[in-house]
Amino acid sequence: MFRLPPLHCAAAAVFLCLASSPHASFSSKSTNPRISIAAIVSDAIVALVAAAAARGGHSRLEADLDRLDPALSHPIVSSTLRALTDRVVPAERFFDWLVFRKRFSPSAHAHNLIVENAGRLGDYLAMSRALASMSARRIPVTERAFAFLNSSSSSQGGAKDTAMGILRALDEVGGPCRASGVFSLVKALASIREFDAVMSVIKETARGVRYYNALLAVKCKTGDFHGARQVFDEMRSGFGPNANSWNYLLGCLLKNGRVAEACELVEAMERYEPGNIPNSLTYEILAYHACKAGRMDSAMQIIDHMFLEKLTPRITIHTAFIKGYLYIGRVEDACRYVSAMSIRDRHSINRNYSLLAKLLCKTGRIVEAGRVLYELMEREVHVPDHSAYIRVIKDLHKIGKGNLATELKLIFQKLSVHLIKAFCKAADFSAAQRVFDASLSTCGQKEVLYSLMCTQFSIMIIEGLCKVNEVDHAHRLLKLLMVKRVFI
């Protein structure tokens, strides 16, 4: 017979309570027993902490928690802290027990949750202690710490008074937490449309551009162009807005169809003194909205200007162009764009060709998709994305074009061998392994000849990986070869 140590009355009450809890089911029918067990542990801790809070400061919470000795994890701790905050129960003693008695290292998210708990209770001393702990550990304050601002119970003296209380706590702590804390506070207040409180915080601090930008971003996101313009004008009257400020406003104008005003804004940006305005993001915003409106020629002029300014577009812009051309039925122009970008932006080759092939498959142009991948491998000497390659091969078989699928497979295999050999000669064994992995993942069991061709290169890769002390990668490659039945 097993003898258990006697439980304190509060802990015993917890387990009696759990006996009737809906979470306390260990039925084999449970879809995820781990979730149920985690909920039970969290409920038990919450019940103990709540009971201790009801009894006052002389309770034996730490001793009860020691007796309970729960199995802790980051999800359980986060769940417990959220539950305590929802029930407006102070969590500081539980958190201290975690850190000092259990030697548990809470996550950055948990630290932000304990700040939220203190804020929900209006306990700014506890908030200061939590912020000081975060500052000592150099943990940034996130918007989660101020999620309590959204609850009606947090605004006893209004959002402005609450914000000032938080700001005093941040000022008292100082250090790394203050900058991230003020920024997150501004974002949290702006997200619940407490704009007066936001302005109060900004005026009490250093009137930083990033704080104004946080407010500007929210107003733009909600379509409040008039309010966004007011914030922007205030920035211009006090200190200069940065590129992000202009871009927020530009995006807002274009999103709401105010094209003429957007053009005027761009002209104003070009007259603006700092040399980094407009920047690459400005041109991307313009090009994206031009593509979305089907004005592909205008969008092309914008991207030409980007290259003239020696700015490299991100992959999102290439995606917008490819989708834009296909949306208006200009398939040949989409192909020409991808081909042209293979010269002007070499880093985008694989993504552009693979995306075009996928989209062509989606619109039923399977043969053209195969031709795109063939060009990528034959002319550009690039292996396509695995998902695009598999999609095209399968779709070609579905429409009875198995001969074209076979042709694609052959050039894929030929290119893979060529690249593996080139990487091995250059002693870039990691790159060789990546190509080898990709080629094996598309190699069917019947393609014995290709497997035998790869054997000599697999030996080169494994030897090379061992030479550069990448033994784990070499071992993983061996296991992969065994699965694919490529015997060495």
Query: Which of 70-79, 201-210, 473-482 shows the highest mean pLDDT?
Result: 70-79
User: Rounded mean pLDDT of the chain?
Assistant: 81
Terminal C-alpha separation, the chain: 58
Whether the upstream peptide bond of residue 241 has omega within 30° of 0, thus cis, is no
The enclosing H or E element of 199 equals helix 195-204
Give 50-72 as a DSSP string. HHHHHH-TT--HHHHHHHH-PPP
How large is the average pLDDT for residues 414-424? 73
Give 212-259 as a DSSP string. HHHHHHHHHHTT-HHHHHHHHHHHHHHS---HHHHHHHHHHHHHTT-H
Closest by Cα among 215, 212, 214 to 195: 215
**Residue 140: pLDDT band with limits 50, 70, 90:** very high
Whole-model pTM: value is 0.66
The number of beta carbons lying within 10 Å of the beta carbon of residue 382 is 19
Using the predicted structure, report yes or no on whether residue 279 has a pLDDT greater than 80.
yes
Contacts of 413 (CB under 8 A, 6+ apart): 439, 443, 447, 450, 453
Using the predicted structure, report yes or no on whether residue 336 has a pLDDT greater than 90.
yes
CA distance 71 to 224: 49
Token pair, residue 267, equals: 């002209």
Token pair, residue 136, equals: 């000592």
State residue 156's pLDDT score. 46
CA distance 323 to 300: 14
How large is the average pLDDT for residues 314-328? 92
Closest by Cα among 13, 68, 5 to 42: 68
State residue 446's pLDDT score. 41
Which of 21-35, 271-285, 443-457 is the least confident region?
A: 21-35
User: Are residues 135 and 177 in contact, defined by beta-carbon separation less than 8 angstroms?
Assistant: yes
Chain position carrying tokens 């999103």: 255
Q: What percent of the chain stands above pLDDT 90? A: 35
Using the predicted structure, report yes or no on whether residue 284 has a pLDDT greater than 80.
yes
Which of 71-85, 249-263, 373-387, 446-460 is the least confident region?
A: 446-460
